[in-house]
Chains A and B, each alone.
Chain A
Amino acid sequence: MTEGELKLGRVGKAARVAVAVVGIVLLVNGSARASDDAWPFGPMSQYAGSVPDDYAVTFTRISAETDAGTTVDVPLNIEGAGVARAEIEARTGEIEKDPSLLQQVADGWKKKHADQPQYVKLELIRDTTQLVKGRVEGPPTPEVLATWQVRR
């Protein structure tokens, strides 16, 4: 069953081929030289790192003291405190310099879970798991990077 063909004009075809070629060049250039900042033309760097066999694997979390007297790990996702773990990990340095950035974690939790115990003190903690010959050796070691007394 043929219902005809639609061909492109010379200009339309040339323009489309040019756009495609420029796009490919941008993508390759981004992968070779750019950073995530160049999205969508940045490098596909998720899980692209070479991790040595003796690497110290770090994992960042936020521990909270609540007004009910308990200590909990803040659920770092949209449904929990409204912030993803990756966002916190990407901004660790900034939070260390300015712990007040943690205030919005408490605010986010309060907004979504007003009926549950609220956070009074937050700690940004880095857990380190040591690899030996590519295998996990022992439990992680925690280290407190920043502490924030929550403003009410």
Chain B
Amino acid sequence: MSATVKPPLGARVAGWFTPKIALARVAWLRTVLYLFVILDMHAFVRDTRLKGEHPGLYQPLLLARIFDLPKPSVANTTALYVVLIVACLIGATNWFPRVAGWVIAPAFTWWVLIGMSDGKVDHDHLALVIALWVLPTVKSQKRGRAAFGDQTRSEAAGWAVRCVQICVIATYFLSWVAKVRSPGWKFTWPGSAVLTWAIVRRPHPVGEWLLHHPWMLHVMQWVGFIAEFFSPVILWLKGKWQLLGALFFLGFHVANTAILLIHFLPTVVCWLAFAPLERIVPWFRKKRLARDARKTEEQPESGRQAEQQAGA
């Protein structure tokens, strides 16, 4: 009988934070997230340059005050824009991804800080911003296209991926905390008229139909409330069950988009940290091998036919 000795708790905790994950997953995340940043700058946090033109309502957030960041101006927001676009395009190729990454992380954080420095803060950027800070900590073995297939398992890659996963889940769990905190640490949110309130303020056809059926809104509130509380479980689920958890929350965002017109795409894209992206290249290679094998099987056959025809 062989009894496996469990490593001490400290080592197990450290191991949980630094699982061995293939470098290819980080390469894919770099490409997708750096390109997403470009999309984000035009579609979501898109008023940063405008705030450089009209800094009248600028109200710097804590981080901007701590680092004494200059007030947005046409010059600095335009520079920020150009630097971000160039660095994101370079980082997305996986050539010099760390240099590009260390430029993108502070630059995009500043970009978002300006975008949210006017009294309104969105809560969908936590995972994306943290992802940008952890990705450059991973040293890659291969550059360019070869990086997407690199199966070298790395604890540094695992840590970066884990951090993104934690932030995705934290977005939900901490939303639950906020819902309990807001009425003074009570559980009144799911039974309240919060969705009715939201729809009255942002009217649209789906919502206005739902206003006539408040019980449906209450059911949705309870489902969201309970799901957000249990969301951390997903960090420990594996395989199919984790996929189910991810799909549930993606559905949750679809519903939110329909009812509240809030998409949370910057969080949604970070769910990719849970996906085994490192399997994409081997999967394609296997398919190509199978196809080539079929071709070589067919070739001698056609060769023989050609010989027979030549001899005829």
Q: Which residues of A does B touch, CB under 8 Å?
A: 1-8, 12-14, 16-17, 20, 23-24, 27-28, 31-32, 36-40, 42-53, 55, 57, 59, 78, 82-84, 86-87, 89-91, 101, 104, 107-108, 129, 131, 134-136
Contact = CB atoms under 8 A, between A and B. Distances in A.
B311 to A, nearest CB: 45
A47 to B, nearest CB: 6
A50 B201 contact: no
Lowest 10 A-B CB distances belong to which pairs?
A90-B119, A50-B183, A48-B178, A86-B120, A6-B154, A36-B121, A44-B175, A50-B192, A51-B197, A8-B155
Interface of B: 13-14, 17-18, 20, 23, 46-47, 50, 54, 56-57, 61-63, 113, 116, 118-123, 125-126, 129-130, 137, 141, 150-157, 159, 162-163, 166, 170-171, 174-175, 177-179, 181-183, 186, 188-189, 192-194, 196-198, 200-201, 211, 214, 260, 262, 282
A87 B56 CA distance: 12
Given A48-B179, A50-B182, A87-B120, A40 B200 contact: no
A16 B17 contact: yes
A93 to B, nearest CB: 10
Contacts of A52: 192-193
Contacts of A6: 23, 141, 152-157
B57 A24 contact: no
A125 B53 CA distance: 26
B151 A134 contact: no
Contacts of A13: 14, 18, 155
A2 B151 contact: yes
Which among A6, A82, A86 has the highest number of chain B CB atoms within 10 Å?
A6
A108 B50 CA distance: 9
A51 B198 CA distance: 10
Contacts of B152: 3-6
A84 B23 CA distance: 41
Contacts of A89: 120
A129 B197 CA distance: 9
A74 B91 CA distance: 40
Contacts of B175: 44, 46, 48
Contacts of B123: 42, 44-46
B151 A1 contact: yes
A82 B211 contact: no
Given A16-B137, A86-B119, 11 more contacts: A4-B153, A8-B18, A8-B159, A27-B126, A32-B181, A38-B62, A40-B125, A49-B192, A49-B197, A91-B119, A101-B57
Nearest to B194: A51
Contacts of A39: 61-63, 113, 116, 121
A13 B20 CA distance: 12
A43 B162 contact: no
A46 B188 CA distance: 16
